[in-house]
Structure 1
Amino acid sequence: MNNKIDIIIGGFQKCATTSFQNYLGHHSKIITHPQIEMTYFYNNEEYSKGWDNVRADYFDQNENAFYLAKHAALLRSETAIQRLYYHNPNVKVILILRNPIERAWSSFLMELRNKETPENFETTVNKLKIPGKIDIDDWRQNVYIGNSIYPKYINSLFKVIPEENVKLLVLEEFENDRMTVLKELFMWLGLDNELNQEVVENRHNQLKSVRNEWLNKPITWILKEGSIQKKTLQKVLSPKVRNQLGAKLRNVNTKKVERPELKQHLYERLQWFFEPIISETEQILKREIASWK
């Protein structure tokens, strides 16, 4: 506890990273950031400012607390992993693994608000030619399918972060017994389990759709990384105010929707594709993941 990141939830997108940040953030000895993601290690411009100049943008100072960060895309950058290790060689990394098919489908559903269509997902799946291998030049395969190829990212992490400092959780096992999994996680972190059932049952970042397409376009411009609108706001607003504004803009034009089911023939093709990925993930965990089969 020295004003550096002690714990980080490092992945993966659509694997309940936001929920776990909220669960752990309720602990009396843990403080976390209000932003959706803590991008310090990933963003070159941000990293160049140095931790002492950036920390206050994310955290209130508390020398008696553990600093918890979350960045679902952290493992996509080997440089970010190395920066994390240099920042704190003893950092604890939490990774949540979800059925790779369900994660891929959820990743696509999140993009429906950005003009994606079900036909695009079907085309992406049908383009898969070799089990476990994607076309790295196809952005949809990278985002929807590639982020479910867990062993690639886990092995890259293990090259830098000691395995004993990495906790791999299976989301479906957590859903089956939330309190037990969190109790074991807190024990691994060296903390008492303070959570109650009500906190643990809360769900975050559920599927939403756009209310008004006309309003969605300017909101997207404002929130998009690197846009002129966002860069302008970064110059005139503090990070905490920007975060509050971003949260309000995201919520004002969205509504909860029922999660559509993945077509059976696409599910079966993805089972074929992910079979070697699941097998390799089981080898890393040294056990079977029955809920993925």
Structure 2
Amino acid sequence: MVPNFILGGAMKSGTTFLHNLLENHPQIKMIDRNMDHAFFDDDRIYTRGKEWYMSLFNGVIKDKEEGKIIGQTSADCYFNPGSIQRILDHNPDTKLIFILRQPIERAYSLYWHQYAMGREFRKFDDAIRLEPEVIKKSYYNLKNYSYMERSRYAQQFKQILELVPAENLLIMDFESLIKRTKESVNEVLEFLRVDIINDVEELNYSKLPKNSASIPSSHFAVVVSAYLQKLGLVRVGRRLVYMFGEEERPPKMSDTTRAKLEEELKDDIAFFEKVKADFQNKLNNK
């Protein structure tokens, strides 16, 4: 049954980076990333049915017959509370890999990603203050404006830990993946029971696409872009905001905002710190 494993996020935590590395491994076939492959975590797509979902894998049947393991990336499957059960109903032996980033940093990074895409026009403090009401308005809003909600790891992973057998679950941290890439990737490869690497260049590390930080210089363009995209004119809105993109890092979060989020997300930060410590202990004990 395919896929053999799912790389499940969280968003802005290095999911794309790991996906790109794994797809260069000779014993792994990653199916292309697009919204259709969010089958388990997108309620709208899930209604198309499992027969439709299985048709997405028609192009990798030969790879499976040749002994490759088949993987897909679905960066929100930890976030939708029903998605893990859907995955297990489809294939109870599915292996799940999650990369977690420090909850505040992840939320802030996602906010600036959405702002740069022209989806978000509010200031960060306003966006997180209004988030509880905004995400209730529509499924679109839930998917696009859940900055804090996606960082509430403690509750989300409580269910995952209860449902998924330990031998089929790997939770790693973003910092280890970025700073100790070879060791972290080898931990993933051992989990998937394929050959480990001696050097990251075996996976074309230096040739991977780089995500440069880009922030629109015109707030007015972002406001107009967000309006156009909500009207369904996504390409027009994106082109507009990209015209004003400048490569620079997001501004530093205010100390007041950070202190407030540290209090609000304290349980989730504690969960993340345990995940980080456990994963780094694995790496140190190799």
2:249 alignment counterpart:
259
Is the counterpart of residue 207 in structure 1 residue 203 in structure 2? no
TM-score by length of 2: 0.74
Q: Distance in 2 between matches of 1:250 and 1:80?
A: 34
Could you tell me how far 1:148 is from its partner in structure 2? 1.0
Task: Flag structure 2 segments of 5+ consecutive residues without an equivalent.
Answer: 136-140, 281-286
Could you tell me how far 1:31 is from its partner in structure 2? 1.2
Structural mapping, 1:147-166, within 5 Å: 147-166=150-169
Aligned residues: 260
Of all paired residues, the percent bearing the same amino acid is 21
2:138 alignment counterpart:
none
- 1:273 is aligned, of 253, 264, 271, to 264
Question: Letter of the aligned partner of 1:33 in structure 2?
Answer: I
Q: Distance in 2 between matches of 1:250 and 1:93?
A: 38
Structural mapping, 1:30-41, within 5 Å: 30-37=28-35, 38-41=37-40
1:239 alignment counterpart:
none
1:108 alignment counterpart:
111
- 1:9 is aligned, of 7, 10, 32, to 7
Is the counterpart of residue 137 in structure 1 residue 100 in structure 2? no
Which SS does the other structure have where 2:188 is aligned? helix
2:73 alignment counterpart:
70
Q: Deviations over 1:214-268 (max 9, x none)?
A: 9x859964xx7xx8779xxxxxxxxxxxxxx9xx989986856211232333233
Which SS does the other structure have where 1:8 is aligned? strand
Deviates more, 1:47-56 or 1:19-28: 47-56
2:52 alignment counterpart:
53
- 1:180 is aligned, of 158, 161, 183, to 183
Q: Is the 8 A contact 1:30 1:67 kept in 2?
A: yes
Q: Deviations over 1:32-51 (max 9, x none)?
A: 12224521223445434444
TM-score by length of 1: 0.72
Q: Distance in 2 between matches of 1:56 and 1:219?
A: 35
Q: Deviations over 1:117-173 (max 9, x none)?
A: 5x6212355x59xxxxxx743539971112111111111212322132110101112
Q: Distance in 2 between matches of 1:218 and 1:287?
A: 40
Q: Is the 8 A contact 1:11 1:71 kept in 2?
A: yes
Q: Is the 8 A contact 1:211 1:253 kept in 2?
A: no
Could you tell me how far 1:25 is from its partner in structure 2? 1.1
Q: Distance in 1 between matches of 2:188 and 2:120?
A: 37
Q: Is the 8 A contact 1:18 1:205 kept in 2?
A: no
Q: Distance in 2 between matches of 1:286 and 1:16?
A: 18
Which SS does the other structure have where 1:93 is aligned? strand
Q: Is the 8 A contact 1:92 1:166 kept in 2?
A: yes
Q: Deviations over 1:75-120 (max 9, x none)?
A: 2223221111011111110110111111011011012132645x62
Q: Distance in 2 between matches of 1:70 and 1:156?
A: 20
1:193 alignment counterpart:
196
Question: Letter of the aligned partner of 1:13 in structure 2?
Answer: M
